Each structure stands twice: as structure tokens, then as C-alpha cells.
Amino acid sequence: MTARTLAEAAAEAAGCTRCRLAAGRTQVVYGVGAPDADLMFIGEGPGYHEDQQGEPFVGAAGQLLTRMLGRIGLAREDVYICNVIKCRPPGNRDPLPDEIEACTPWLVEQISIVQPRLIVTLGNFATRFVLRTSRGISRLRGQVFRWQGRTVIPTLHPAAVLRGGGEGTRQFELFREDFDLIRRTLEAPPEPAAAPTPSSDASSTQLELF
């Protein structure tokens, strides 16, 4: 079977009713960016502005993400940006485990279509999703992992950096350091070819520091 395109998958996702979040959303926020990007960012889930505009990371956290991308010579169009869950939870509450589970096939498919060399997970939810670990983001950030034949760098969620005071704080400095690591990792020669389709099966996930 030929893999479908991101546009085809997004068109189907637009009508998704796999979980309760369908009832409260303005629209599904599927993802944005280059369909063959080397670098994929995965956040948590859409907030108010994303729900309104149908695009991930367009609010204050998104502006910080865009600024950090610019710092390492990249534009939003050069990367692919998406979230663990595609619909805004009411009041921006944390996504529930069954909502994440229901949404997982969309993200797994996005990864298998885009085939990014490097995945950057923003915050705890995305990092847990990919690395299947209970370790918190503050212990994992700034490290480089191999997962399913890809490189993974967890970093802080930009909204958390802003909540912590933004520029001038230690958190901001760490966030900036992580983007320097992202740039160095992209500049390094590619690792051996990526494995085919990522799996949501925790038993097949390897958490490996190198």
C-alpha cells in the first residue's frame, strides 16, 4: 500500500471523533511545515490561539519557538511542527491518557510520512510519548537519545520557559543551549537510516543515551 500524504491524512483528521475533545474544539490542529523536514517538533496540544487558527504554536509559546528557530538559522517552513494531541482540551487542561491514546495513530502516521532525522520533544507530554519514560523533562533535556532509528532531543516546553520568567532566567538559557545542540546535531553527518514505521508499542521503544 502506498503511504498517503500529510494533506490526505490531515483531511481525514479534520473530521476525527475518536475522543471527547472533538466536542469542544473549533478545529483539529493537525500540523504545519515541510512534509519532508529533517527536524520535527512535537508539543503537547493546541491552546486557544492554535484552536482558533488551526495551526500549532502560534501563540506566545509559538513566538518563542519561532524566535529560537531563527537563532539557529531556521524558519518554521523548514521544519515540521505538531502536537501529541490535535484538539484543544477545555480550559487548556492537561491531556488525559485516553485522549493521548486515541490521538496516537495520527502522530505515528505523521512521523512515518515526514521521516524526520531529528525529533525535538517540547516538554513532558511529548517526551513521555516518544521515550516512554517517567523521568521529568528537567532531567532529560539537553541530552541526545536514539529512538526507532531516529535522534531525539527533549527540551523544555516554551510555555514553561515563559511561565518561568522568560529571557534572563536560567531556564531560558538552558532552552537556548538546547537549540544550539539541535543545530549541532543537524550539522553532524546523518546517523544510519531511520527505521520504517514508528510504533506506539512501549515494548519496542528503546531509550538509549549516546
Task: Kindly state whether residue 124 participates in binding ligand URA, applying the rule CB under 6 A.
Answer: no
Task: Kindly state whether residue 154 participates in binding ligand URA, applying the rule CB under 6 A.
Answer: no
Task: Kindly state whether residue 175 participates in binding ligand URA, applying the rule CB under 6 A.
Answer: no
How many Cβ atoms from other residues are within 10 Å of residue 200's Cβ? 14
- Least separation, in Å, of the C-beta of 50 and ligand URA? 4
- Least separation, in Å, of the C-beta of 199 and ligand URA? 23
Q: Which of 19, 83, 115, 140 binds ligand URA (CB under 6 A)?
A: 83
Q: On the CB side of 24, how many CA atoms lie within 13 Å of its CA?
A: 14
What 8-state DSSP symbol labels residue 117?
S
Binding mask 6-45 for ligand URA (x = CB under 6 A): -------------------------------------xxx
Task: Kindly state whether residue 47 participates in binding ligand URA, applying the rule CB under 6 A.
Answer: yes
Task: Kindly state whether residue 95 participates in binding ligand URA, applying the rule CB under 6 A.
Answer: no
Task: Give the whole-angstrom CA distance, residue 206 versus residue 202.
Answer: 8
Measured from the CB atom, is 3 or 75 closer to ligand URA? 75
Residue 158's region, left for phi above 0, alpha for psi from -120 to 50, else beta, is alpha
CB neighbour list of residue 110: distance below 8 Å, 6 or more residues apart: 6, 9, 30, 31, 40, 80, 82
Q: Which of 38, 50, 109, 178 binds ligand URA (CB under 6 A)?
A: 50
Between the CA of residue 81 and those of 2, 145, 163, 195, what are the distances in Å?
A: 24, 19, 21, 21
Q: Which of 9, 37, 41, 57 binds ligand URA (CB under 6 A)?
A: 57
Q: Which of 40, 130, 152, 159 binds ligand URA (CB under 6 A)?
A: 159
Task: Give the whole-angstrom CA distance, residue 116 versus residue 133.
Answer: 21
Nearest 5°: phi and psi at 94? Answer: -65, 145
Interface residues with ligand URA (CB under 6 A)? Answer: 43-47, 50, 56-57, 59, 61-62, 83, 159
